[in-house]
Structure 1
Amino acid sequence: MSKKEQLYGLIRANPFISQQEMAQALGLSRSAVAGHVASLIRERRLVGRAYVLPRERSVLCVGAANLDRKLRTTEPLRMGTSNPATAAETFGGVARNIAENLARLGTPCALLTALGDDSAGQALRAHARECGIDMTGTPVLPGVATGTYTAVLDAGGEMAVALADMGLYEQLTPAFLASRQAQRSAASFVIADLNLPHDTVALLLDEARRDGIPLAIVAVSQPKMARLPRDLAGLRLLILNRGELEARAGRPLPTEAAVRDACRAVRAEGAQDVIVTCGAAGVYYTAGHTAAGDTADNTAVAKAVAKAVDDLHWLPAHDVDVVDVTGAGDAFSAAACWTLAQGGTDLAEACARGLRAAALTVQSPHTVSPALTAELFSAPLLNDKD
């Protein structure tokens, strides 16, 4: 195959690819790449650069897409010894899970992640295509394994421990995101997980402040809270669990008052709203918006507003029979962000929808429930023991 045909194949696979990326992939100079591009345009095989404005702007998810392995004990878990268990593999990753949930809710969505050049990466891309997730801008990294996440569940379906091999996401650098600027600018809402490097998260926050595209950040673990910058101006929503909020605060949060103070501190740092998930118990959420100008331009005013508003509220989770908790938090995040992306402003409604999506997910053996649809939020919740 000629270099021009190879180049044409790269463009077909990723219309947002830069000439520098094509040059590196094919071992050509930039001028040679430019010449081939000009030739393809003359042949009418290309009509110009990929600054495409979609008919309907999509929600863009940025972060992890893994092969998930679940090991579930068939008897009560005993540490320090061998346990009989069943094993299963599925597709996972916080950003990928959220994207699939959004697609099942009927929302156009795109996923920027990194895949290895292995069978797992090929399977993830094929599954995304089947779900309706656009992975146009996602690179395949040569000589690198696709990310994996291994969860050990007890006999009741609760997570005992999880192990993650996600070093390839360090390749999602600010420079990489800059190379996908056209695709990112077309998004109506951005959701990022904290598998991204610190500087990449900082870039997303800078762009949210500059461009006004709403940004939600979803925490993934206590250690990775270090990837969240101190300045959160421009952040529409931060979703994290209680342990992750403790990591951010740098202290235990044993009471509701302590959680309230920590949420106020996060809002004073610039976040417009915060949701704190508490597993099977329910969620805390803030209410009473801080104006974007206050958070971005006047920290003193933002702090005063945050302190003045008793802004922490609580919603209990639905009491349902648990099959598997894996993916419940991602379903919650997807439904909550979906509500905001649809133009909603009521965080109580967003959390209520998130809890319904999570309840559906824990009743399913799948990481993303195939039963999830937008109609869920207008129908009675099945199997609620309340």
Structure 2
Amino acid sequence: MTNREKEILKLIKDDPLISQQQLADILGITRSSVAVHITNLLKKGYIKGKGYIVTESPYITVIGGSNIDIQGFPNNKMIFKDSNPGKVKISLGGVGRNIAENIVRLGIDTKLISVIGSDIYGSKIIEDAKLIDLDVSQCMILEGFPTSTYLSMLDEKGDMITAVNQMDIFEKMDIPFIKKKKNIINNSKLCVIDTNLPKQVIEYIVTNFTNTKYFLDTVSSAKALKVKDIIGKFHTIKPNKIEAEMLSGIKISSLNDAWKASKYFLGQGVKRVFISLGDEGLFYNDGITQKHISNFKVNVINTTGAGDAFVAALSYCYCNDYDIDKTAVMAMAASVLALSHEDTINPSMSVENINKIIKELNLC
């Protein structure tokens, strides 16, 4: 494929209904030249038929946050209001970006729609994406805005104590921008959304782009409230206990309460509900199967990436038509893999290694 053909193919992917004259105007070439290139793309099989239907393998779209993560790990028990000897680590993060990277590592083509600054951190996010074959071509890159930064402190066990985030840049993702991504989103096998997005953008996407299934990562209790009134638009949700309480209005003090909350979500239109109960494990329900799984005993090194790995595995399992029982086990095993590494994303994340954990824990 020539460079010009690549340019034309990208424009067609973004807008399959674009005219040859519009392509010519954008590229600064004649309409007849565009016609020749399109004929070549047809012959080579990159597009097929009228309307420029693009031949493309199934993919997942993730819409959410991309951050630079700065984490502090004390060597010993944290002493508050004092300087603690330890280790500081800077890495790529963001709920949406983390989920997208995990999905890529599980072997599924993935497109990330996010907002990053035109700074050194933004460039790092793009460069890293190229190395792992994560498609970030649909991201918004803003001049004069710093890439989102997330600063967290962990205790000696690897659990987060507190965090500060600078995420104002995500408010720049507006409806006019997301409208241009309609075909990318609608053609996805599924679309994962995290609640770092502005409320009005989330509502617009799930209300207007109805040709795909939506998976929700609630991110935090405060941000989860953005989707309270539209929770039924999501196929699969993964709230923790506090988020589930806030979204359902049901206090969860027992497994029976978790069942009541999951039943509420199913009544709103959700198809699969996975409620993380912290130390008490996982409760899940799809209207047919309702089960509780206790937590696995593992050596926890870092808890920050477990939820991202869980959602990535949910997405992988949906794409492979796994039932909810197998999905829950694989998602929890993916979380175990994330917990066992100091990085937010375990570089060993793979379907093979998830299956190894399932076998080691006798979950088959």
TM-score between the two structures when normalised by the length of structure 2: 0.85
Provide the rounded CA distance (Å) in 1 between the counterparts of 2:89 and 2:313: 26
Equivalent residue letter for 2:262: C
Instruction: Report deviation, 1:12.
Output: 8.1
CA distance 1:168–1:51, change in 2 (3 Å)? farther
Q: Give runs of aligned pairs for residues 276-291 of structure 1, distance below 5 A.
A: 276-288=275-287
Question: What does residue 372 of structure 1 align with?
Answer: 349
- Tell me which residue corresponds to 2:252: 253
Match of 1:304 in 2: none
Preserved contact between residue 331 and residue 361 of structure 1 (Cα < 8 Å): yes
Give the match for residue 92 of structure 1: 93
Instruction: Quote the Cα distance in structure 2 between the aligned partners of 1:125 and 1:165.
Output: 19
Paired with 1:201 and 1:333, the residues of 2 have a C-alpha distance of 18
> In structure 1, which of residues 362, 372, 382 is the aligned counterpart of residue 339 of structure 2?
362
Structure 1: how far apart are the matches of 2:315 and 2:139? 22
Following superposition, the deviation at residue 139 of structure 1 comes to 1.4
Residues 99-133 of structure 1 show CA distances to partners (whole Å, capped at 9, x for unaligned) of 11111111111100011010000100111111111
Q: CA deviation at 1:197?
A: 1.4
Task: Give the counterpart of 1:336 among 292, 295, 314.
Answer: 314
Q: Residue 170 of structure 1 aligns to which amino acid in structure 2? A: E
2:92 match: secondary structure: strand
Give unpaired runs (5+ residues) of structure 1.
1-7, 19-30, 290-310
Secondary structure of 2:284's aligned partner: strand
Q: Which residue of 2 aligns with 1:173?
A: 174
Letter aligned with residue 152 of structure 2: A
Counterpart contact for 2:64–2:196, Cα < 8 Å = yes
Q: Does 1:317 align with 2:295?
A: yes
Counterpart in the other structure of 1:200: 201
What does residue 74 of structure 1 align with? 75
Task: Describe the shift of the 1:73–1:378 C-alpha distance in structure 2 as closer, same or farther (beyond 3 A).
Answer: closer
CA displacement at 1:225 relative to structure 2: 1.4
Aligned to 1:353: 330
What's the secondary structure of 2:29's corresponding residue? helix
Q: Structure 1 residues 17 and 105, CA, compared in 2 at 3 Å: closer, same or farther?
A: closer
TM-score, with length taken from structure 1: 0.80
Task: Return closer, same or farther for 1:201/1:32 CA change in 2, 3 Å cut-off.
Answer: closer
Segment of structure 1 superposing worse, 177-186 or 134-143: 177-186
Does 2:111 align with 1:102? no
How many correspondences in the alignment? Answer: 342
Structure 2 residue runs of 5 or longer lacking an equivalent are: 16-20, 42-46
**Residues 57-113 of structure 1: CA distance to partner in whole angstroms, max 9, x if unpaired?**
201101011111111111111223332221001111111111111111111111000
Q: CA deviation at 1:177?
A: 1.3
Distance 2:255 2:109 in 1: 37
Give the counterpart letter for 1:375 in structure 2: E
Tell me how far apart the structure 2 counterparts of residues 125 and 319 of structure 1 sit (CA, whole Å).
Answer: 36
Percent identity for Structure 1 against Structure 2: 22
Counterpart of 2:157?
Answer: 156
Task: Give the CA deviation at 1:34.
Answer: 6.6
- Where 1:134 maps in the other structure, the secondary structure is coil
Post-superposition CA distance 1:141-189 (Å, at most 9, x none): 1111111111110011111112221111112223211111222222111
C-alpha distance after superposition, 1:300-337 (max 9, x if no partner) = xxxxxxxxxxx642112221111111211100111112
Q: Tell me, in whole angstroms, the C-alpha distance in 2 between the residues paired with 1:276 and 1:233.
A: 16
| CA RMSD after TM alignment | 2.9
